[in-house]
């Protein structure tokens, strides 16, 4: 008999977590609490509640976390211009620390001693969920069924579901395996099927949020984004809550074919993995944020942020959101954003986000009287550049003279 009497399951109502729910009941003879997070995946969540009830679940949590997700996780990440391996905007990665946080909170509320998730033993998500959980509750017990059971294929899962009367909605065509998908307000990802062959082009009908650039409108659309302390706060002069703003950007980006990515990435567990991503709003936000920083950040501060970004991105990708080093980096990053105020004008056109203008009434470091190609009336003494260049060349001149003597 297991000493685990109650477990909180991260539950979507899909095939994997529906099987896990029944498996936990059978294997551990424990009470299961289900937790379903609404982080903007765009799916009806009430069916998950009904499925859980059919298996006798009494404590069912369905939480709207959209505002917290964007405000406290997505926006802080974008203040750092975070990109993993030069391309990936970390849509799946950034949702995991929030889910881990809520799992731990619910475990405390319900007196559960364990949590459970549906991440496989091959992926990054198991690491992200569990590092987050241990950081927030070092004594929590974790059940990861994919590391315990023998249901290691889609066919075995379907057979288990059929044997145990678990209803499964098949969202794929012609009986083939479905894509493994993850969606939230920042992105939607696709893995599996023929994407496991990195030489195969993604099917056009796979994409859910974006039209192809070829089918995007022939007319460009202009968009103004206002920034305050490094975060977008208004679109075209209309103030918006963070989750509403990102949803609007997703719609605009999707309309213009913006934000598609086909990537072979390096997973933290050691393997390479091919995935496709749609991040329309995030792609727009990244371009806009770099544009407003270009006139409001000191040069060395901007370059320091760029130096740190790759480390910061790896911390998020690998599951270290709650680590002291990420918190320390965030403190530095947030400090740099106090002056990142103003607006950016973008042109959206057939998969492209083009910066059309940027300005800041209060924090711009762009001085036209110095930068001008016209007469600057003595604002900048060009003779000063000669000494500047000679001093910076001194070490190279010494080395060149040494080579001549050799």
Q: Which residues define the annotated binding site for L-aspartate? A: 120, 124-125
- Longest CA span, the chain: 88
The answer to whether 170 touches 27, Cβ cutoff 8 Å, is: no
Nearest partner of 322 among 109, 117, 138, judged by Cα: 138
Q: Is 16 a catalytic residue?
A: yes
Q: Are 252 and 279 in contact (CB under 8 A)?
A: no
Phi/psi for 34 (5° steps) reads -100, 140
* 3-state DSSP helix/strand/coil % of the chain, to nearest 5: 45, 20, 35
Q: Are 208 and 188 in contact (CB under 8 A)?
A: yes
Cα separation, 266 vs 310, in Å, equals 14
Q: DSSP assignment of 50-69, as one string? A: HHHHHTT---EEEEE-HHHH
Residue 378 CA to residue 327 CA, distance in Å, equals 45
Catalytic option among 66, 79, 96, 260? 96
Q: Apex CA 176: angle with CA 170 and CA 179, to 5°?
A: 70
Report helix, strand or coil for 233: strand
Q: Which residues are annotated as a binding site for ATP?
A: 10-18, 37, 118
- Among candidate residues 180, 273, 294, 323, the one labeled active-site is 180
State whether residue 84 is helix, strand or coil. Answer: strand
262 is catalytic: no
Residues 6+ apart with CB under 8 A from 321: 73, 94, 96, 97, 128, 132, 315
Residue 361 is among the residues annotated as catalytic for this protein: no
Residue stretches of the annotated binding site for L-citrulline: 88, 93, 124, 128, 180, 189, 265, 277
Q: Which residues are annotated binding-site positions?
A: 10-18, 37, 88, 93, 118, 120, 124-125, 128, 180, 189, 265, 277
- The rounded distance, in Å, linking the Cα atoms of 150 and 156 is 8
Token pair belonging to 376 = 């600057």
Given the residues 66, 79, 116, 125, the one annotated as active site = 125
Give the C-alpha separation, 52 to 45, whole Å.
Answer: 11
Q: Do the strands 188-191 and 272-278 form a parallel or antiparallel pair, or are they unpaired?
A: antiparallel
* Residues labelled catalytic: 16, 96, 125, 180
């Amino acid at each position: 008999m297991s000493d685990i009497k109650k477990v909180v399951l991260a539950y979507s109502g899909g095939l994997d977590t529906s099987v896990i729910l029944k498996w936990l009941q059978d294997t551990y003879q424990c009470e299961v609490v289900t937790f379903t997070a609404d982080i903007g995946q765009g799916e009806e969540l009430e069916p998950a509640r009904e499925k859980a009830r059919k298996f006798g679940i009494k404590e069912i949590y369905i939480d709207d976390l959209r505002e917290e997700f964007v405000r406290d996780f997505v926006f802080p990440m974008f203040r750092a211009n975070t990109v993993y391996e030069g391309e990936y905007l970390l849509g799946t990665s950034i949702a995991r620390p929030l889910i881990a946080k809520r799992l731990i909170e619910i475990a405390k509320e319900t007196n559960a001693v364990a949590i459970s998730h549906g991440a496989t033993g091959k992926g990054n998500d198991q690491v992200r969920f569990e590092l987050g959980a241990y950081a927030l509750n070092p004594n929590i017990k974790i059940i990861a069924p994919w590391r315990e059971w023998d249901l290691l294929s889609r066919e075995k899962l379907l057979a288990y579901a059929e044997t145990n009367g678990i209803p499964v909605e098949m969202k794929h065509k012609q009986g083939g395996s479905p894509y493994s998908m993850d969606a939230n307000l920042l992105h939607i990802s696709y893995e599996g099927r023929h994407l496991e062959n990195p030489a195969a082009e993604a099917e056009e009908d796979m994409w859910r949020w974006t039209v192809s650039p070829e089918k995007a409108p022939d007319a460009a659309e202009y968009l103004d984004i206002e920034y305050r302390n490094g975060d977008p706060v208004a679109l075209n002069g209309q103030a918006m809550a963070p989750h509403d703003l990102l949803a609007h950007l997703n719609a605009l980006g999707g309309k213009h074919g913006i934000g598609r990515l086909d990537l072979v990435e390096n997973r933290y567990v050691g393997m390479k993995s091919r995935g496709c991503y749609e991040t329309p709003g995030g792609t727009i936000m990244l371009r806009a944020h770099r544009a407003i920083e270009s006139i409001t950040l000191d040069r060395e501060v901007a370059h320091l942020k760029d130096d740190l970004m790759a480390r910061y991105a790896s911390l998020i990708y690998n599951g270290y959101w709650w680590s002291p080093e990420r918190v320390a980096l965030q403190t530095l990053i947030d400090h740099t954003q106090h002056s990142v105020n103003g607006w950016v004008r973008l042109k959206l056109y057939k998969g492209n986000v083009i910066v059309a203008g940027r300005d800041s009434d209060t924090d711009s470091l762009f001085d036209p009287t110095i930068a001008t190609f016209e007469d600057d009336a003595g604002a900048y003494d060009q003779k000063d550049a000669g000494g500047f260049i000679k001093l910076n060349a001194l070490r190279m001149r010494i080395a060149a003279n040494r080579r001549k003597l050799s």
